[in-house]
Amino acid sequence: MYAYGGTVVLDVTPAGRFAPSPSGDLHIGNLRTAVLAQLFADASGRRFLLRVEDLDRVREGSEQRQLADLAALGLRWAQPLVRQSDRRSVYETVIARLTADGHTFECFCTRREILDAPSAPHAPQGAYPGTCRDLTESEREERRRTRPAAIRLRADVAEFTVHDVLHGDFTGDVDDFVLRRNDGTPAYNLAVVVDDAETGVDQVVRGDDLLTSAPRQAYLATRLGSSPPEYAHVPMVLNTAGARLAKRDGAVTLADLADTDVDASDVLSLIAVSLGMASAGERVTLDVLRDRFDPARLPRDPWIFAGAP
């Protein structure tokens, strides 16, 4: 049983979700992931939630445009929308309970200090070297005077295995990762896990750039008494140079594409073709895609987007 819950709601019937950060417009790669998240949820009889991950990097007007773009493609999500900025007190409660149980510690390291610290033998590259893990109370007192602390999880494993529908079993590093940054912002890894657990999300479909985050998140879920979700990390969309698609690659958002006379329905068709679920030029709707959806037949390689034909 999830033991660290906040005070809120929540409907815990099984759900899938899409969780964009409102830091700019969604590009065709993000939209493709969103379509897949909806199809995975629908095909497995789950509710579909939309979560706005607005704890930082928020750009004015971006949330509204993202929601409008998703709706224009035909996506439908359950109400209410989950907005992370409304849930800060829940994350604080979880951190306070983990702390009361001795599962966290204060960390005063700067990024530079972490990079420069000799790492423990066998520790994975980039893992937190443990500098502040065992400080005495008087050492902590002294450091608090120089810098606000981040809060880290006291991890008791070095790796964790998750199951992914497309990648099979995936084992990745787990270190004493940050739960609250030293500016007071709840960390992404904490917020995602708490939100998924509290809203019934037991299926996570997202870009495969986040596959390496899954072991940490799944491990934290177990530490909170919740079961890790089923994962499907879907291939990214790349530009013709093989780099991750970005705004500078030209017309990649619905608004840019509309300026070149490619409307939302054309974009859905392009996405469907890229997924092997429609033939070139064929008109489709999400209902049609729902009927055709078969996770086993999804492409495993990135989609190279060279612009709308």
Positions touching ligand GLU (CB under 6 A) are 19-21, 53, 192, 206, 210
Residue 84 CB, shortest distance to ligand GLU, in Å, is: 9
> Residue 182 and residue 103: Cα distance in Å, rounded?
17
The residue length of the chain stands at: 309
Residue 214 CB, shortest distance to ligand GLU, in Å, is: 9
> Residue 204 and residue 46: Cα distance in Å, rounded?
11
> Residue 46 and residue 16: Cα distance in Å, rounded?
6
Which of residues 33 and 269 has its CB atom nearest to ligand GLU in the complex? 33
Pairing state between β 150-153 and 104-107: antiparallel
**Tokens 């033991």, located at residue:** 3
Which of 206, 213, 212, 252 has the alpha carbon at shortest distance from 34? 206
SS3 state of residue 21: coil
Both tokens of residue 140? 């902590």
Which of residues 104 and 217 has its CB atom nearest to ligand GLU in the complex? 217
Which of residues 232 and 278 has its CB atom nearest to ligand GLU in the complex? 232
Which of residues 26 and 127 has its CB atom nearest to ligand GLU in the complex? 26
Residue 207: φ, ψ to 5°: -65, 150
> What is the distance of C-alpha 106 from the center of its chain?
25
32, 237 Cβ separation under 8 angstroms: yes
Which of 144, 247, 283, 290 is catalytic? The answer is 247
> Residue 250 and residue 227: Cα distance in Å, rounded?
41
Work out the end-to-end distance of the chain between its first and last CA atoms, rounded to an integer number of angstroms: 50
Cβ atoms within 10 Å, residue 216:
23
Residue 271 annotated among the catalytic residues of the structure: no
Residue 16 CB, shortest distance to ligand GLU, in Å, is: 11
Residue 40 CB, shortest distance to ligand GLU, in Å, is: 13
176, 114 Cβ separation under 8 angstroms: no
Residue 217 CB, shortest distance to ligand GLU, in Å, is: 8
Which of residues 214 and 268 has its CB atom nearest to ligand GLU in the complex? 214
Residue 121 CB, shortest distance to ligand GLU, in Å, is: 32
Which of residues 19 and 75 has its CB atom nearest to ligand GLU in the complex? 19
Residue 107: φ, ψ to 5°: -125, 130
**Tokens 């390291």, located at residue:** 109
Catalytic site residues? 247
